Amino acid sequence: TWELALNGGNYQRVTDVKGTKNFEGNMKSTLNTSSAIDISAVETGTTTFQNYLRSGADPWLFLHDRYYYLTITGSTQISVFKAMNFEDLATAPPIVVFKPEPGHEYSRNLWSPEIHYFSEAEAGAENAGWYLYIACDDGDNNNHRLYALKSLSGTPEGPYGNPETGEINVPVKVKNPDDPEFNTGWCAGQTVLRCKGRNYAMWVDEVWEEPVNGEQRRYQVEYLCEMSTPWILKGQKAMICQPTLDWEKQGATTSGNKIYPEVVEGGTAVYGPNGEGLYHLFRKRLLDHILFSWSA
């Protein structure tokens, strides 16, 4: 025989108490409950959910020294939000890490900020540190280009400045001596991909095809190119993603003389537990598909 006594608790998820009725033999069981317990009671009320995510476009989140760091797209400045608990990011005070002076080619529309760390083994003793990657313009979206800044404090909290001159709030334009056309047209969303001991820049670019029967196709692609320093690329870029499937092409439209592109964006490298099994994830506007499009 056995006896179960219930003196308190919440039993709204209990669906049945079977006792020994499913056991063969002479086993007996007894259930004793206090007068304050009704295990058949049905809970009523309103269930609420608190969203711990901070509102903002193009979020970038990473963990360093037990703290979470979050950045989001800004208009004229970029802030970092720091908290030890993830749920506290929603109310964490902003730490301004990049605030350019007005009137420059990089002063407006500060999109897709990402902070990455390069060790001495990856970048050399002189270039090791925290880097802020961002796409900016002068207020004209056609002038959107890729820029990089280095933390002048040696911490993710900045402030950030030019990695070549050390001037605060002055980024350097990402460049590639082997590709004169790189970063001379619209581009955005630079991130860093690490694979087999090498660092690669990955970013979003645009392609305009020649008109066919009076119709012209405009679409975004993602490129990959090896890095020689955290702000200088080398060699030729490789296209790793372009809209070819029907669901990837949705969202493109025209308005008057304007053609809005087929959008693939938010490219991010995702690694396996041992740094192997590299996947590329990207987001499609409107449908927000996630596609494992290639691996290495």
Predicted TM-score (pTM) of this structure:
0.75
Q: What is the mean pLDDT of residues 195-214?
A: 81
Distance between CA 97 and CA 103 in Å, rounded? 19
CB under 8 Å to 64, separation ≥6 — which residues?
Answer: 117, 156
Tell me what pLDDT residue 267 has. Answer: 73
N- to C-terminal Cα separation, the chain:
61
Quote the tokens at residue 102.
């007005």
Ordered by start, the domain boundaries in the chain are 1-48, 55-173, 189-296
Tell me: cis bond preceding 273? Omega within 30 of 0 counts. Answer: no
Out of 1.10.579.10, 1.25.40.80, 3.10.20.30, 2.115.10.20, which CATH number does the structure's domain 55-173 have? 2.115.10.20
The pLDDT tens digits for 241-283 are 777 776 666 655 555 556 555 566 667 777 777 766 555 554 4
Using 50, 70 and 90 to split pLDDT, how confident is the model at 285? very low
Whole-number percent of the chain with pLDDT over 90: 51
Closest CA to 114 of 130, 91, 138: 130
